[in-house]
Structure 1
Amino acid sequence: MTFRTTRTIGAAGALPVVFSAVLSSVLYVACAGGPDGGGGLRSVVRDSAGVTIVENGRPLPESRLGWQVGPEATVSIGTAGGDPAYELFRALDAMRLSDGRIVVANAGSGELRVFDSDGVHLESWGGQGDGPGEFGVMAPGGLEPWPGDSLMAREPFQSRISIFSVAGTFGRALRLQPQSGYQSVVGPLPDGRVLAQTLTTYSGGTPGTSELTRPDLEYGILEADGSVHRDLGVYPGSELYVVTTAQGTRARAYPFDRSAFAFVWGDLVVMSTNDRYEILAYRTDGSLARIVRRDHEARSPTRADLRDDVARRNPGRPEALDAVADMPLVDAFPAFNRVVVDRLNHLWVEEYRLLGEDQRLWTVFDPVGRALGMVEMPGSFRVTEIGEDYILGTRRDALDIEYVESWPLDRSGS
């Protein structure tokens, strides 16, 4: 089975050699004071052979940045019945345009549904099909702003992206050609090129065996026409638990899988994993540009943690526990869960939590990578976009009804 899954100091101002070396090595030290400033966070920024390294202390668990997410959503899109335009099905992503309109990637109908700033449906773009501006199965699967005030919609199973103007006019499609070696687009770069990726192949193990494995990911920069600008190399992918029998190979995500993630951060591309609390950012020529680290206390899962996680995900199915009886334990839980780059180029890193843990904390880093502190998010809410004064995301209620919601964000605190 094959698995495939973005000072020079002049002579007049010369300093003593030792002091000069220290100055060039340690570029910045910041201490945030007070409980509203992230719990007395300390960040050290230094240079090492052209790589900026940012070392951050860990915020106190009870500390908060001072930024506030409002007590309730200001916009909620979704309904259990009534106007079909508000019935969301497989709403996989959402983004807000500069004029306040909200675009929802509703993969269940193959549409981009557009709502005004109050959540009133205006129109829908695309539709299911193979024509220009139409979408295939499980698409559109993701949205990204595109340079020039447009937007990009992903089609993961078609190895294609579609570009629309903010007026809804279909501009063009970029289909990744097999000869490029890449299968999906991660996101656009400021210059119009794109970060792309592909999974390496895995043929499975010997019948009667099971294992944890990590198929590698290959990344590259593509031109606007889909041709390869530069290959960026091979990096670890996400963990899979693979069982091989005489009938074939079956793979599924490990309950506490260390994951790979890629995204564009300003003019850098991040290709990293959550094995450690460390984010690696590269220049588009493939050279390492920045390492952002934060103190983190690793926790090791137990067999009870594994069984509890499986039981919570499979209520009423005790046989599900049999499938993990021989599943190996990893050395540590992932260091964090997800990363989102906001519209001001801050990094928001979601803290890892076990299933059933209610508190949803995110550590916020400034555009350099210095930790500012923690912000608490609403429960049962998956963040898709963070703007200057709003947080956009998706939610399901107890009846599994889907919603897209916008919550206010106040950054005026320390």
Structure 2
Amino acid sequence: MLTPQGSPPGRWWLRVLASVWIAAATGAWAAVAAEQQRYDSAGVNVVVSDLPGSTLVLSLRPRVRIGAATGEDMYLLHSVGQARVLAGGRIVVANCLPPILRWYDSTGVYITGTGREGEGPEEFVEGGCANGMFVLDDGRVETWEHSVKRLKVFDPSGVQVSSLTANTRELGPGTSALGRFAGGYLMGEHRALGSQEVIDERRARPVRRSSWRDTLVFHRFGADGSRERAIGRVAWIEWAETVLPTEIGPFPTDIVVPFAPMGMAVPWGKVVAVGEGSRAEIELIDSDGRLTTIVRWKVERVPVTDEMIRTWIEGRLASDPNRDGRYLRDARRALEAYPYPDSAHLYSRFLVGTDRRLWVRNFRPLGVRTNTWFGFDSSGALACALAVPPGAWVLDIGDDYVLLVERDELDVESVAYYDMVDPGMRQAPDLGEGRASCSAGDRRGGAR
């Protein structure tokens, strides 16, 4: 990660952002924003925020729900990869099984769809999915297929207008499209660079296996779909998950380790937000890889206790009840022997919403029933906090709504559109009260 060098912080500015304000015409509430400090350190802008004074929540019921257990195929969702809210309230959903891109109106009624398994036009590779989806200002939708490194473009009516395949050799294996700029894309190139310990039931000492690291690359497509040029590599980061490779039982297994830092990056306006969660800090870098801004917020670390580790191990083993007793014993021994960090990562995901804020999902300690997200405006200031049920996967966040994937008790998958509401006025959306939004401000993205 890039670290600023130079003299101690210079001049300080203290600015208190907006407090609660009420839009009388609509009855909407705004979140209580955080206090903010700004200073310059050797040419790097540093923004420090306190925690917001209040946390928004979701309405009691969604305004729109897309998904059903039975009925018409276009309402049956399985493994939703991406979804976004378009202009006019339409919702586009990238379903993975089968791979179909679907458009719905603002009430959740199906409009059109495109895609099926195959290699031809308007088809997605078998077993593939739109791993990335980018909505352009003119209503076009772009999809990125990770396995075949293919970018497709669809017009606002859902018709595919182009398809480009990236040069596989130059981009390396397993390339991810992490986000889009006006002039190109942020790609994560995955390359094996080192090794890491493997816990082996047959050996007293660990063995070694290759591990992966990423490099972030600004990428543009040429007219023929090959790589035109890389604008520049901007940072090295650890891959998004820390895994514990094991050789327990008949097959090797990689177990995702909780609490550890997780490298992540996303384009945000004209900059890239980069972080790994070990500190309450995000670095913003430009297309030349130059550190421009450090975004910080004041929060206490969460210690990793023995109880947290035991709870996670029991939950991990219970999720695989069909394994035989020997496997479970060996897995428990391996998991108990792992050197867990002293404190948990402070955050584990980035999302740039339709509101153009940078949203960060915080670590959820034991006993806390919601996931808290922090929303940062374009200046780098912490604008508001949002509480989301832990079982929901957030897909998009707007000025006053949240789009997420949920599963019910029968494991039926749905995409749901919820209003943001003030916790003291939590209502169902049809009652028309309590609707809230983040505090007003410049949301163009990317601290300047």
TM-score normalized with structure 1 length: 0.84
Shift of 1:185: 1.3
Conserved 8 A contact 1:37-1:372: no
CA pair 358-344 structure 1, distance change in 2 beyond 3 A = same
Q: Which residue of 165, 181, 184 maps to 1:175? A: 165
Conserved 8 A contact 1:142-1:153: yes
Where does residue 157 of structure 1 map in the other structure? 147
Conserved 8 A contact 2:259-2:344: yes
Query: Which is further off, 223-232 or 109-118?
Result: 223-232
Q: Which residue of 69, 90, 96 maps to 1:101? A: 90
Where does residue 407 of structure 1 map in the other structure? 418
Q: Which residue of 10, 26, 31 maps to 2:12? A: 26
Q: Distance in 2 between matches of 1:236 and 1:302?
A: 24
Q: Distance in 2 between matches of 1:41 and 1:83?
A: 47
1:166 is aligned to 2:163: no
Where does residue 386 of structure 1 map in the other structure? 397
Shift of 1:333: 0.7
Shift of 1:356: 6.0
CA pair 81-90 structure 1, distance change in 2 beyond 3 A = same
CA pair 397-374 structure 1, distance change in 2 beyond 3 A = same
Q: Distance in 1 between matches of 2:345 and 2:391?
A: 20
Where does residue 300 of structure 2 map in the other structure? 297
Q: Which residue of 326, 331, 338 maps to 2:349? A: 338
CA pair 40-392 structure 1, distance change in 2 beyond 3 A = closer
- The one-letter amino acid paired with 1:152 is E
Q: Distance in 1 between matches of 2:283 and 2:20?
A: 30
Where does residue 113 of structure 1 map in the other structure? 102
Where does residue 236 of structure 1 map in the other structure? 238
1:216 is aligned to 2:213: yes
**RMSD, matched Cα:** 3.1
1:113-153, Cα deviation, whole Å (9 max, x unpaired) = 22111111122111111112311223022322136431121
Q: Distance in 2 between matches of 1:295 and 1:213?
A: 37
Where does residue 61 of structure 2 map in the other structure? 72
Q: Distance in 2 between matches of 1:270 and 1:203?
A: 27
1:187 is aligned to 2:179: yes
Conserved 8 A contact 1:312-1:355: no
Q: Which residue of 35, 38, 46 maps to 1:45? A: 38
Shift of 1:43: 1.0
* Number of equivalenced pairs: 389
CA pair 342-27 structure 1, distance change in 2 beyond 3 A = farther
TM alignment of 1:244-323, pairs within 5 A:
250-315=253-318, 317=321, 319=328, 321-323=332-334
Where does residue 9 of structure 1 map in the other structure? none
Where does residue 79 of structure 2 map in the other structure? 90
Shift of 1:380: 2.8
Q: Distance in 2 between matches of 1:69 and 1:245?
A: 43
Q: Distance in 1 between matches of 2:122 and 2:344?
A: 41
Q: Distance in 2 between matches of 1:306 and 1:161?
A: 41
Local SS of the residue matching 1:200 = strand
Shift of 1:360: 2.5
Q: Distance in 2 between matches of 1:146 and 1:335?
A: 32
- The one-letter amino acid paired with 1:58 is L
CA pair 329-164 structure 1, distance change in 2 beyond 3 A = same
- The one-letter amino acid paired with 2:140 is S
Local SS of the residue matching 2:364 = coil
Where does residue 81 of structure 1 map in the other structure? 70
Q: Distance in 1 between matches of 2:336 and 2:400?
A: 47
Conserved 8 A contact 2:178-2:266: yes
Conserved 8 A contact 2:195-2:210: no
Q: Distance in 2 between matches of 1:269 and 1:312?
A: 35
Where does residue 11 of structure 1 map in the other structure? none
**Runs of 4+ off more than 6 Å:** 21-24, 34-40, 210-214, 245-248
In structure 2, the gaps of 5 or more residues are: 1-6, 22-28, 421-434, 440-448
In structure 1, the gaps of 5 or more residues are: 1-20
Shift of 1:313: 4.1
1:381-406, Cα deviation, whole Å (9 max, x unpaired) = 21111122321111111111100011
Conserved 8 A contact 2:166-2:221: no
Shift of 1:106: 0.6
Shift of 1:55: 1.0
Local SS of the residue matching 1:187 = strand
Where does residue 426 of structure 2 map in the other structure? none
Shift of 1:323: 4.4
- The one-letter amino acid paired with 1:310 is I
